[in-house]
Amino acid sequence: MEAEGVWRQSPENTLESLHHAITHMDGVEFDLRITADQQLVIHHDRDVSIPKHQLEGREPWVEAWTLDELEAVGFLGFERFLSHPEVLNHWSNLGKMGTVEIKRPHPKAPMGGGLLGKQAHIEHVAKAITMAETLLDDFDIPHENAVFYSFHKHMPASAKRAGTKRPWAALIPYIPPYGSRRQQRLQVLPSFVTTSFRRLRRRHLHQGSTMLPCAVEYFQPSTAWLPVGRSVGLQGRALERLHRARAGMPTYVWPARPPLETGLLRAGLTALTDHADPEFTWLPSGNARWTQPATRPLTEDQWSTLLAAREDDHRAVLASLVRETPTWAESDAERRRTLVEGWRKRWHWTESTEDVLSRFSGATPPVAAPRLIGHRGSGKTARPVLNGQAT
C-alpha cells in the first residue's frame, strides 16, 4: 500500500497489489482458481494461504472453499477485481494487459480429477477459461488486452473446448500441480534441457498458441547453455539467433530479474517482474528504469537518452521523458508509425507496418511490443500470503 509517500508492498494477488501494478506498469499477471461454489478467485497456491491454525481443521484446498469464505479472510474475487473503476479504466480504455494464469487444483482436491483424470483436467481448465472470458466480455475488456496460460499439458484441448477468442498458451516445461517446489524443479529439468528456444517456439506454433511464455533461464548466462541446441541471449550473436528464432512472436519472460530487465525489453520481450516499488528507478545493470515500455513507448532517440543517464541524474532524465512522452493512446499517427517501423526493424517483425497500425489503431499497443508486467500484482510475497484478517 501507499501512505504519506512511502510505498509498502501489499500481499500478492490482492486488490491493492494488482491495482498498483496495473496503474504503474503495462499490465498485471495473476492466478485464477474455481471455488467450491463455482466462482473465480485470484489465488496462486493450491492451499488456502493463511496460517495453518486458522484453517480450523478444514480441507486446505482452495477449491474446497466458497468465494464468500475466501473473501472473508482477505482474498479477491475476479469479478470484484474487474469492478474496481480505476482497474477497469486502465485495462479496458488505456491499453493495459492482463496475463491470466489458470491454475489446476491438486489431484486430491475437489475438482482435482485424480492423477490420471485427463478429461477432467481438460474440462476444468476449459471451464475456468470460459468463466473468465465471460466476465472479461461483460466488462468490455478488449480481446487483445488479455491472455490465458496454464501449466497444463492439454491446454490446446482446453482452449478449443472453451472456444476462447483470446490469445492462449501452455506453460512449458509443464509443472505438475503437486509435489514440493524442489520436486517440481527436478521434474521439469529434463524437459528444459531437451527444449531449445527454437524448439519451444515450434511447439507453441504447432499447438496453435499465438504467444510464447518463456522461462528466464533461456537468457541467463548461467543457464542459457543447458538446452540442447543453439542458445539464445540478449547480446551479440545470441541476440540475433533469438530474433531469428522468435520471428516477432510475442514472448513473455518470467521472472524478469532486475539485472536482466533492460536487456529483455531491448530485445523486444515482455518481462514479468516482482519489483514494483515506484522508488526503484535505477537497475543493477546500471540503467534508469522505464516501467511502461508499451503503453508509454519511447522512440529510439529517447531510449538513447534513457540509457545514457547516470545514476546521479537519472531521476531528472526520467521526469523529463515522462513529461515529453505521450502514451500509445495519445500518440498521433506520425509517432505511431515511427515507433512501429523502429520495432519491426529492430525485432524482425514479419507483419507490415500498415497491418500493425491498422490492427492497433486504438488505445492498445501492438501485441508484440515489449511490456513490463507486474507478477501476481506487485510481486510475489512470503507465505502465508494473508494472516486471515479481511483486507
Q: Check pLDDT > 80 for residue 337.
A: yes
Domains of the chain (ranges; CATH) run 10-277+290-295+326-374 (3.20.20.190)
| pTM of structure | 0.96
State the Cα–Cα distance between residues 129 and 160, nearest whole angstrom: 10
Residue position matching grid coordinates 511490456: 371
pLDDT one-digit tens code per residue, 115-171 = 899 999 999 999 999 999 999 999 999 999 999 999 999 999 999 999 999 999 999
State the Cα–Cα distance between residues 264 and 373, nearest whole angstrom: 12
CA distance readout (Å), 185 to 121, 181, 191, 228, 334: 21, 6, 10, 18, 48
pLDDT at 169: 98
State the Cα–Cα distance between residues 142 and 232, nearest whole angstrom: 33
pLDDT one-digit tens code per residue, 38-53 = 999 999 999 999 999 9
pLDDT one-digit tens code per residue, 246-258 = 999 999 999 999 9
pLDDT one-digit tens code per residue, 286-312 = 999 999 999 999 999 999 999 999 999
State the Cα–Cα distance between residues 303 and 307, nearest whole angstrom: 6
Among candidate residues 207, 216, 213, 98, the one with its CA nearest the CA of residue 153: 207
Q: Which helix (H) or strand (E) holds 386?
A: none
129 and 102 Cβ atoms separated by less than 8 Å: yes
136 and 168 Cβ atoms separated by less than 8 Å: no
State the Cα–Cα distance between residues 385 and 365, nearest whole angstrom: 33
pLDDT at 388: 54
Residues of the chain above pLDDT 70, percent = 98
